[in-house]
Chain A
């Protein structure tokens, strides 16, 4: 089985988010970048398929050369090779088109992507890849088993979960539950050394036009201080929620 894990290069959750060029661009100054958490759960599940079922695991990212350390980290965790499509990731649809092209060229059976990236939160790349290559698609995937060309998956739904059966080729929009947080791997020294020698191929993008474009960013208005209510005066809390906040 050939697996492609799509890796998004995103600011760490604890990063302060700032914008430059008159609030039209994200400012990466001083930001630590990580593998998108939803992708990391998928990568770890792919490692399981590699170790138990002999799968071959490739990681791919759409981005500039600055995203390569994130791909190297994925190699250090255990992926066999990496592909970087040399294009800034501007919008979800064009990223999906680039990745769909990588999938077609490489003949992957299973594509694992995170359900959404924690930067732009578009939540569209996995589904669009599936639509573009005509593969089956399971979103919000919290469990996956593959046996030959058939697959069983568990999907989180509003208020519960659902078990589904499907077949390869398959695209997964993955999240926590594919593996647990305690299963995530920190690259060890040997992995880091080996990652330096693993192939990282840079491919040029196919021509795409941006279906959507970012115009401007703004930060939410600063929040006012919390209104503290004494635990001995909860009538006041009920009153505030009813008359001031108008939410009950």
Chain B
């Protein structure tokens, strides 16, 4: 019996989300009085996982898994769960983890709860708190099956360091037919993604045109943030659709969300409300975003943003 966690890596390196779900898995294992086993697929170095509470790592190294494939990854994690007699399986809220989790749930005949924001409030019955109604409410959900799958919301639990070390062993699951073959990937590798980012800087139609995005990118760079945009901006083709955040775009659950020239339509707010701290910069004091934000600046983005960049640079230099 153990808690199994899928620790996602990219180009062999663990994502921050992997360390966060490892921290969550440790909390669950403590509640259940058991240990944490991580599954790592084609990761270079798994020693970091020990610092976040992992006791044992099952290392899968297989060239067939170089490209993400939900079917194959779900099958590999299922076999790991069976070998470890896992009672609880923890996954992140990355696009890939959300893709494979339902397949894993069918494979293990396990109840799956996504968007979980806290450690279980009880382990018998197994009860977790999640967001629902697009962040307008929380739902407390009970998982009734023997094996439970918990999908942890990004940046909800945070990193919890642990003193320990993880033993590693090779694991060679059998890989099913892939069914879906990756032909090409179109992805900027040098940028922080919205899903992984702790800070997101987002621009709206108030920026007047795509040529004005230089200051958004500079602000993001100073903060180590991802860039995002509102729906009209992606509809107008000013920015790629992959940057569109909101109800029909990507969900954002960052620690800090900075909205520049975004009025705050309800569909936009629904997608970004899970962010912990929201800052709005807008010329219109009546913009609905001011009601949803924690901090606001009523002012012209073209003056405020360059000045804010200077102030932040000075602040970062001091640190």
| Shortest beta-carbon distance from A168 to chain B in Å | 11
Judged by a CB distance under 8 angstroms, whether A148 is at the interface is no
Contact A17 B296 (CB under 8 A): no
A118: nearest residue on chain B (CB-CB)?
B134
| Shortest beta-carbon distance from B312 to chain A in Å | 6
Separation of A11 and B247 alpha carbons in the complex (Å): 13
Contact partner of A157 (CB less than 8 A), chosen from B95, B249, B294, is: B95
Contact A245 B295 (CB under 8 A): yes
Instruction: Taking A131-B74, A226-B296 as given, write out 20 further A-B residue pairs in contact, using a Cβ cutoff of 8 Å, ordered by the A residue number.
Output: A119-B132, A120-B132, A120-B133, A121-B132, A139-B95, A158-B195, A161-B242, A166-B180, A181-B235, A211-B112, A211-B145, A212-B113, A223-B291, A228-B295, A230-B297, A231-B307, A237-B295, A238-B308, A241-B277, A247-B199
Contact B180 A234 (CB under 8 A): no
A136: nearest residue on chain B (CB-CB)?
B179
Stretch at the interface among B31-39, B44-52, B100-108, B208-216: B100-108
Contact B184 A162 (CB under 8 A): yes
A-B contact pairs, 16 of them (CB 8 A): A13-B270, A96-B102, A119-B132, A123-B102, A127-B99, A136-B180, A160-B187, A176-B249, A182-B235, A211-B110, A211-B111, A237-B295, A241-B279, A241-B295, A245-B295, A247-B256
Within 8 A of B (CB), among A213-229: 213-220, 223-224, 226-229
Would A216 and B140 be within 8 Å (CB), given that A93-B105, A136-B179, A164-B180 are in contact? Answer: yes
| Shortest beta-carbon distance from B258 to chain A in Å | 9
> On chain B, which size bracket covers the interface?
35 or more
Contact A214 B140 (CB under 8 A): yes
Separation of A119 and B185 alpha carbons in the complex (Å): 31
Judged by a CB distance under 8 angstroms, whether A130 is at the interface is yes
Separation of A96 and B112 alpha carbons in the complex (Å): 12
Chain B interface main SS type? mixed
Judged by a CB distance under 8 angstroms, whether B1 is at the interface is no
| Shortest beta-carbon distance from A175 to chain B in Å | 7
B10: nearest residue on chain A (CB-CB)?
A158
A37: nearest residue on chain B (CB-CB)?
B248
Chain A residues near B183 (CB, 8 Å)? 152, 163-165
Contact A121 B114 (CB under 8 A): yes
Judged by a CB distance under 8 angstroms, whether A19 is at the interface is yes
Within 8 A of A (CB), among B227-263: 231, 235, 241-242, 244, 247-250, 255-256
Chain A residues near B113 (CB, 8 Å)? 212
Within 8 A of A (CB), among B162-187: 179-187
Separation of A123 and B99 alpha carbons in the complex (Å): 9
Contact partner of B103 (CB less than 8 A), chosen from A131, A160, A220, is: A131
Contact A159 B188 (CB under 8 A): yes
A40: nearest residue on chain B (CB-CB)?
B248
| Shortest beta-carbon distance from B268 to chain A in Å | 10
Contact B303 A231 (CB under 8 A): yes
Contact A157 B187 (CB under 8 A): yes
Contact A124 B248 (CB under 8 A): no
B290: nearest residue on chain A (CB-CB)?
A226
Separation of A17 and B231 alpha carbons in the complex (Å): 23
Judged by a CB distance under 8 angstroms, whether B143 is at the interface is yes
Contact A210 B144 (CB under 8 A): yes
Contact B134 A139 (CB under 8 A): no
| Shortest beta-carbon distance from A125 to chain B in Å | 8
Judged by a CB distance under 8 angstroms, whether B137 is at the interface is yes
Within 8 A of B (CB), among A143-197: 152-153, 156-167, 173, 175-177, 180-182
Contact partner of A93 (CB less than 8 A), chosen from B112, B136, B195, is: B112
A153: nearest residue on chain B (CB-CB)?
B180
Separation of A13 and B266 alpha carbons in the complex (Å): 7
Contact B181 A165 (CB under 8 A): yes
Chain B residues near A158 (CB, 8 Å)? 94-96, 193-196
